[in-house]
Structure 1
Amino acid sequence: MPETAVADAATGVPLKELARRHGLTSSGRRLGLLEYSRKLWAYRHFIAAHARAKTSSSLGNTNLGSLWTVLTPAINALVYYIIFGVVIGTSGSVSNFIAYLCIGVFVFQFTQSVVQNGVNAITGNLGLIRALHFPRASLPLSVSLVEIRNFLTAMGVLLVIVLFTGEAITWQWLLVLPVMLLQMIFNIGLALAAARLGSKMRDVKQLIPFIMRFWMYGSAVLYPVTRFTEKLDGWKLALVESNPLLVFIELYRHALLENVTLAGEPGLLWIEAVVWSLVVGFFGFVYFWRGEKGYGRG
């Protein structure tokens, strides 16, 4: 039957035109990317409230509460310092190994927490998804917001550690701000991608610890980045040095430490950081958006 024949009996106006006039759309229609983005912005207060609730529920039953957001990377750094700095003896290769190590651990922990929690953003909130109608990207964005807040607190502690290890405050410390912004965009893209993967393939979350451990060892978190140039060359070295987390960690070290050997020229590292952030941030968002209609089903 022609579309024009499907009309309202009283007015004779085609139903599709009538729906358009009153702003009605198909209930199963996937929103366009820009329209979906605007809807997410309209739900920004819900995202913030959900993030606060997640923070309270995750740490509310502990005696130290939110202090664990700082203690976790600090204790990790202490353990790694004892093993790699004292036992294995890598500390002699870097002038300020404590600060060098802590920067790597704190920065890597930020991304690791986003990925580990992001993969459960959909599967851990199925009741909420099935009960309420809202843009599903709100959930991985909420996860990202929690970890951003935690990282901002941890960064305050990291700056104190860097100062106490003998580094001086310089104007170069201001470079931490754009690096943080780029890493936040990168992490949000990862959280969105991990959320969709985790919702479709439930076993992915079992692999995440192994993936992140391998990623950590390839990001010069625990030892000087010069170890790569000593062991690798050619395309292998180029591949390792283009690792996004290695790039972010190196930029933090460049900003906070005076005498440090980097994996490449600062200008090249900045270009790589911008490219990784924009690519992962955009495609992570698009990848999640394309699966919007399937979240919570099955």
Structure 2
Amino acid sequence: MSTVSDSVSLSAPVGADAGLTPKQLATKYGLTVSGKRPGLVPYVRQLWQRRHFIVAFATARLVAQYTTAKLGQVWQVLTPLLNCAVFYLVFGVMMKSRNGVEDYIAWLCIGVFVFQFTQSAVMAGTRSISDNLGLIRALHFPRAAMPIAFTVIQLQQLLISMVVLVGIVLFFTPPVMSWLLVIPALVLQCIFNTGVALVMARVGAKTSDMAQLMPFLLRTWMYMSGVMYSIDSAIKHFPPIAKAILAVNPASVYMDLIRVSFLPDNHYHTPHHVWLIAVGWAVAAGVLGFLFFWKAEEEYGRG
């Protein structure tokens, strides 16, 4: 009985397979393209099955992040606090942005902590594929797990920092029921961050220079979002179209929700429709970001 040499490829069929195209051969023997993108539903199912891997990977990276620093995990809290101190000196004292803003220190700290969550998640998402090519090429798993895991890392850091943030807010106001609204606001922000991280992960995987450009884009976004100053006062004389654009800025929207929840007596923005905008941003970014990333699933780690 004759055998077929291992060197025979699909492009050179022999015997009974002579005359079949590569596609017909693949169909006959049940062959599929290596790394082929699964359908959307199976992809989501695979991602859910690896939820424990995502959490374990995120936790391990978080623990290892500051192992070489003497203060270790303290930097998770110390970094945003130092940013708050610098912004208070420059914007609060020197530029007098604290004028007209009640409880400015608590208001500023909320803005810094909340925006840093988005900033760090987007930056980490941008590098999540390009910085982990070894893992991606060695193991088979849904590639969306990487940007999602890095968003989970930033969420874990925020939750640790929130302990300090709550202590700061308590210095200015007693706890009230509106504090519970911080939870859904953070959930919506987390979904939004994940969606943007997925978009930037695909972009960053294709354009390595994007990781160098992102800090400048994120810094610009921060200055336009009212982290250190009251955006309402700053845009008083802006054209209506500019006011409308800045009013739906997602960074400002999530900061406003959490600021009003923590400081209900200081209504810097009356959130009549802000919750709807926040839900809209979360759904749009989450769904479109996931689809955008999934479309290029076959390409990650190639080349």
TM-score by length of 2: 0.88
Q: Which residue of 2 aligns with 1:168?
A: 174
Aligned residues: 281
Paired residues for 1:284-295 under 5 Å: 284-295=289-300
Q: Which residue of 2 aligns with 1:270?
A: 275
Q: Which residue of 2 aligns with 1:82?
A: 89
Residue 279 (1) aligns with residue 284 (2): yes
Residue 159 (1) aligns with residue 161 (2): no
Q: Which residue of 2 aligns with 1:10?
A: none
Greater CA drift, 191-200 or 220-229? 220-229
For residues 219 and 149 of structure 1, what CA distance do their matches in structure 2 show?
A: 23
Shift of 1:194: 1.1
Shift of 1:25: 5.2
Residue 42 (1) aligns with residue 49 (2): yes
Structure 2 residues not aligned, in runs of 5+: 1-15, 18-24
SS of the aligned residue for 1:213 comes to helix
Shift of 1:69: 1.1
Structure 1 residues not aligned, in runs of 5+: 7-13
Greater CA drift, 25-34 or 39-48? 25-34
Q: Which amino acid aligns with 1:218?
A: M
Misfit runs of 4+, over 4 Å: 14-19
Asked if structure 2 preserves the Cα contact closer than 8 Å seen for 1:51 and 1:142, the reply is yes
Q: Flag the 1:25–1:232 CA change in 2: closer, same or farther, 3 A.
A: same
State, as a whole percentage, how many aligned pairs show the same letter: 44
For residues 156 and 102 of structure 2, what CA distance do their matches in structure 1 show?
A: 31
TM-score by length of 1: 0.90
Q: Deviations over 1:56-83 (max 9, x none)?
A: 2211111122211111111100110011
Paired residues for 1:1-298 under 5 Å: 16=27, 19=30, 26-164=33-171, 166-263=172-269, 265-298=270-303
Asked if structure 2 preserves the Cα contact closer than 8 Å seen for 1:225 and 1:262, the reply is no
Asked if structure 1 preserves the Cα contact closer than 8 Å seen for 2:129 and 2:201, the reply is yes
Shift of 1:226: 2.0
For residues 15 and 232 of structure 1, what CA distance do their matches in structure 2 show?
A: 62
SS of the aligned residue for 2:128 comes to coil
SS of the aligned residue for 2:246 comes to helix
For residues 144 and 135 of structure 1, what CA distance do their matches in structure 2 show?
A: 16
For residues 138 and 166 of structure 2, what CA distance do their matches in structure 1 show?
A: 43
Larger radius of gyration: 2
For residues 165 and 56 of structure 2, what CA distance do their matches in structure 1 show?
A: 27
Which of the pair is proportionally richer in helix? 1
SS of the aligned residue for 1:100 comes to helix
RMSD between aligned residues: 1.8
